[in-house]
Amino acid sequence: MPPYHYIAALTVFAAAAASETIGAKINDAEVTEIFGNSFGMPGTNATYDYVVVGGGTAGNALAARLALDPANYPVALIEAGTFYEIVTSNRTQIPGYNFEAANPTNVGTLNSLAAIQINTEPIAGCNGRKIGYVQGVTFGGASAANYGGYSRSTAGAHDLWAEDVKDDYWSWDNVFPFYKKSCDFTPPDYTKINPKLNISYDPAAFDDAGGPLQVSYGNYVHPSMVGLGESMEAQGLEHIPGFNSGKLLGYGAITSAVDRITATRSSSETSFLQAGAKKAGLKIYPNAMAKRILFDGDKKATGVVVEGNSKIHTVQWVLSAKKEVILTAGVWRSPQLLMVSGVGPSETLSQHGIDVVADVPGVGQNQWVSHDQPFQAHIFKVNVETNSQIVAHNPEVLAKVADDYLTSQSGPLSSIGATQAVGYEKFPPNVRNRFLSNATRNLLDSYPSDWPDLNFLGLESSAVPSDIGPDEYYLLIGSTLYSTAARGNMTIKSADTLDAPVINPNWLGDERDLEMAVAAFTRIREVALNSTIVESAWSPGPEVQTKEEIVDWIRSSMSLTYHGACTNRMEADDDETAVVDTRGRVRGVKGLRVGDASAFAILPPGYPMATTCTLRQSLCIYSNCLADSG
């Protein structure tokens, strides 16, 4: 029986929650509140101060910030998908259900009503494979479709960002307060987590008045944490109090976007959007696909043509913007929408019969592939409990974890399933000397001193053998590279946003990246096989030993973490490759801004959800809630 059936009782709770939100009620001020008032009318033209395109991690945060401003801006939020709570049952809400991605029947086919998969062009560095890039299509976007890890970047990375764009506003000292403002941290509950684990964190990394994104350690920490952490320390990694204070080098417990009280996923939808939706000025448009941006004769964005995202009945309408159109459709869709609207490389636009509004060659270029690819997923047989029996659908285990979750909001389902022994390091000298050429070492040395070369990530849910025994357990230990040399790009297939963009991430397209990938392969094995919990390597097995075998395995088997960025890159005004300025405003036009990860100047280390939420806060405050747009 599929594991989510064991939580059928949750439908009772869902029904109770729905009765509070769907329908109508009289509030404490004796004013009628109607659920439908939060939504715009499909098919009807309307005018707002701001039209935000894309209800993902950034879009929900930006729309809510504008709606909650004392100026009471009218805001429209367009999203091609709908609410994941409706279309994915409880599997997106329950943190531990992210193990479904480890199910062999799902790998490579992660399409759902809340996500789509865009296939890349054949990638030479990956043996010509076309690799599926999963994109959230739901309110919450990637924050509703990811594993849920939350870690910030480093002080040096943000200072590099500020240096690159020639604007000190993006330095660590200036953005750190915005990191703190965007989340509400809840300390570990040692009535549910074994107090012997003694999770350390830095209280100064959080603000008591922060929020609304919920950040915690969940309500369960797996026993693998101890053995894996000890091995990382033996390999030279320092134990540090979390990854939210501007420092990453070392190992420790990672926070997650989990509401510790309810033990449910905290996404930008459950946090920012739900807070903003209480304001009458915010109107939400689900199942609404942006077709193109409209411009007047002065090249000012005046609105967006929207089409109902339905095969049953197609209708188009226009949402006009008095002040600005803000793109938050993600690393692939935001540049696509710019191009189909006439903003991008003029040669590309002309090929597709699109009138050029502004020739901006950088649109779709400069995609950073650092900590997106290559992600190496090594699976080891271990002597401690992991989520393997849950993945294998062991009925006794499923019944137990469901009961723990329902009755005490604890157990494996209340956690994202990371080992809580996550590590970041620069390659040790012996590894640099053995595997890396002078060119690669020079590349790594060009990054700030606190910028990691790679990340170790342990996941309790992994693929398991089809004949797994009831007392057998496996652990995934993966790595991502943070200092890759290759850059990718995207373009359009046609002038229609219904056609998927053409994406060329160029993973392993530079020999220096391959050298680092081989070094990372070795480091994973050193950490794993020298730990007290690992019994043997399962995938790849011990037969993969020589450099040639390792390279072939990497090219054939590596996957990704869906952390693409910089395709609408922020740069200084004198940089011809820039798409947006340091306030996110698009070059060559007026009244148009990009506020998602595609506008990053660099892809800083750490997990981008935290940085994306911070970007929207920074843009709003920096631009006086965007009211000074021009």
| H-run or E-run covering 46 | strand 46-53
- Residue 25 neighbours by CB under 8 Å, 6+ apart: 32, 33
| Residue among 179, 185, 180, 183 at smallest CA distance from 218 | 185
Residue whose tokens read 């509004």: 357
Q: Which two tokens stand for residue 193?
A: 């987590």
Task: Give yes or no for a contact between 324 and 591, defined as CB atoms under 8 angstroms apart.
Answer: yes
- Catalytic one among 158, 222, 371, 563? 563
115-611-446 Cα angle (round to 5): 115
Task: Give yes or no for a contact between 468 and 392, defined as CB atoms under 8 angstroms apart.
Answer: yes
E strand intervals along 439-564: 454-459, 473-481, 487-491, 502-504, 534-539
| Residue among 435, 455, 436, 468 at smallest CA distance from 539 | 468
List Cα–Cα distances, 425 to 160, 342, 417, in angstroms.
Answer: 19, 43, 22
- Residue 429 neighbours by CB under 8 Å, 6+ apart: none
Instruction: Give the type of residue at 550.
Output: I
Strands 358-359 and 343-344: parallel
Q: How many CB atoms lie within 10 A of CB 577?
A: 11
Task: Give yes or no for a contact between 90 and 96, defined as CB atoms under 8 angstroms apart.
Answer: no
- Residue 144 neighbours by CB under 8 Å, 6+ apart: 84, 92, 114, 136, 138, 265, 267, 268, 269
Residue whose tokens read 């030993």: 545
Q: Residue 239 catalytic?
A: no
| Active centre residues (catalytic) | 563
